[in-house]
Structure 1
Amino acid sequence: MQEVAHFEITLALKQAFKARGVTYKDVAERIGVSEQTIKRLFREKDCSLSRLNELCDAINISVYDLLDISRQHNEAATKLTDQQEEFLRDNPSHFSFLFFLTAQYSLETIKSRYELSEVTTFRYLRDLDKQGFIELSANNQFRLLIEGRILMQLDGPLGEVVRQRNHFFLEYVCDHDGETGSTFSSSFRLMSTDTLNALHTDFAKLDKKYRKASYQDASLLPKEKLHPVKWVSMVAPFEICGQWPLDKNIE
């Protein structure tokens, strides 16, 4: 308990309640306390180990699993070899196929959405196996050798692929702005260096917050209740005058 901040535990516990579809009142009745007691626990973000055990038992989750979710909120990440990056750069469809696998799309989903034959699916898997991304066995069964997200640098072999995919995403968000779950926001302002640094800090905190929340969601919720979501944040000193196009030869 000392290794994990109480607020981290109560946050994970709150997510577990949501995943199990139970309310504070439901849990209070199961362990024989008032609903206000449960609400106070979450409000004060503190509880004893014995109480934590009771709450976990009430929603059928191991206290060890809960503590693990509280601690292990940082995403695992894999750095590819130069050879692997070069292969994905030269074979962008293989890059997509691998990315789908790391995002936990099933083979059946990939095959269905892209109308892939069994032979084509096997060839993708075979090639990824040769490059050390997966371990392929009979009947297109495989084991991913990549843990978590793939680390990709803009100045590395995959830099151009990353740029292209993010340009595609930017256009998609612009086209779907205002639809459920999609938001595009762009601003140009004059600001001090201190304000710019504060903006970078806020973006970093927000990104970390939702990476952590998504890890907990994926750990606690069934996959059918999860939505694939992508986000991009971009901030930079940018002189629009001189960078944006301007016709020098108007009549």
Structure 2
Amino acid sequence: MLHATTLVDSLKRELKARGITYADLAARIGMSEASVKRMFSQKNFTLQRLDEILKATEIDFRDIALIAHDESRLISELSFAQEKEIIGDTKLFLIAVSVLNHLTVDQIVQTYQVTDAEVVKYLIRLDKIGFIELMPNNRVKLLVSRTFRWIPNGPIQNHFREQAYSDYLESKFDGDHEVMRLVNVMLSKRSIAALLDRLKQVAREFSQQHQEDAKLPYDDRYSISFMLAARPWMPKGFKELLRPRQATPKLVRPK
């Protein structure tokens, strides 16, 4: 079953593929660029507005519907057992992440200390798990959606939390292509909800950019990890100084 949000996502990808910016679209349909951005961000379209956009951009509704239909059949999350199997074997996890990054068998072998036979063996396992479909000539078809994520607090996230946090955060984040921000503020519940929505949107856009850049040559793409976190939090020393009547800490910590 197709959902309106899936159709909007498909329309956004088609616009980007055709090089049509929000500013271009705004000029074609007589709206401000800010209004167009808000419309796509909120995914709040009337049928009349959708029809105007399709006519102005010469996009066929059937095309975006087919894209959305294909996307809806893909999985956005593995089962606990599937994740546990993948994280239980370092090379299997390596191959899974590599195919998520659209690396070919040759590129995996050139990059890591694995043989062609090993890569194919692990691709067969990923095929049985349902993560990919192994095609002729060892080509790979991903069976996960653009919004795919590891299970929150699942085997892979827990593995990262236990073993990779210290390694990932062992940096001053002052090098090229690095950034870290720690902001402590006090917001209303409504503003906190809006903040979390924006952070999730950034994560979706990050994933979408990954899909689009997959078309670039392998040597033009670089590994980068992106972590978002936000929760009610204050430093332990502050918490210890709270008066007894103060309940849950009211500071929000995005990073």
Normalised TM-score (structure 1) = 0.60
Matched, 1:183 2:184: no
2:123 maps to 1:125? yes
| Residues in 1 aligned to 2:61 and 2:164: alpha-carbon distance in whole angstroms | 40
Please give the residue correspondences for 1:22-171 in structure 2 after superposition, counting only pairs within 5 Å: 37-38=27-28, 40-43=30-33, 45=36, 51-57=52-58, 61-66=59-64, 76-82=75-81, 84-136=82-134, 139-148=137-146, 149-154=148-153, 156-163=154-161, 164-171=163-170
CA RMSD after TM alignment: 4.7
**How many positions carry a matched residue from both structures?**
219
| Residues in 2 aligned to 1:19 and 1:73: alpha-carbon distance in whole angstroms | 17
Runs (5+) with no aligned partner, structure 1: 29-35, 244-251
Q: Answer yes or no: is the 8 Å Cα contact 2:75–2:143 preserved in 1.
A: no
8 Å CA contact 1:78, 1:150 repeated in 2: yes
Residue of 177, 192, 198 corresponding to 1:206: 198
Q: What amino acid does structure 2 have at the position aligned with 1:177?
A: D
Q: Structure 2 counterpart of 1:209, which letter?
A: Q
Residue 96 of structure 1, CA deviation: 2.6
Describe the SS at the equivalent of 1:125.
Answer: helix
Deviations, residues 188-235 of structure 1 (Å, cap 9, x unaligned): 56x5xxx37456424421123224435665677773298765232243
For 1:91-144, what per-residue CA distance to the aligned partner results, in whole angstroms no more than 9, with x for missing partners?
Answer: 133223212223433333322221532122123223434545444465434444
Cα distance in 1 for partners of 2:175, 2:188 equals 27
Q: Following the alignment from structure 1 to structure 2, what is the Cα–Cα distance between the partners of residues 86 and 70?
A: 30
What secondary structure does 2:77 align onto? strand
Question: Which residue identity lines up with residue 236 of structure 2 in the other structure?
Answer: I
SS of the counterpart of 1:122? helix
Which letter maps to 1:107? V
**Displacement after TM superposition at 1:184 (Å):** 0.6
Cα 1:217/1:63, change in 2 over 3 Å: farther
For the pair shown, the structure with the greater C-alpha radius of gyration is 1
Distance 1:128 1:170 in 2: 30
Would you say the 8 A contact 1:94–1:124 is kept in 2? Answer: yes
| Alpha carbons 1:16, 1:220 under 8 Å: kept | no
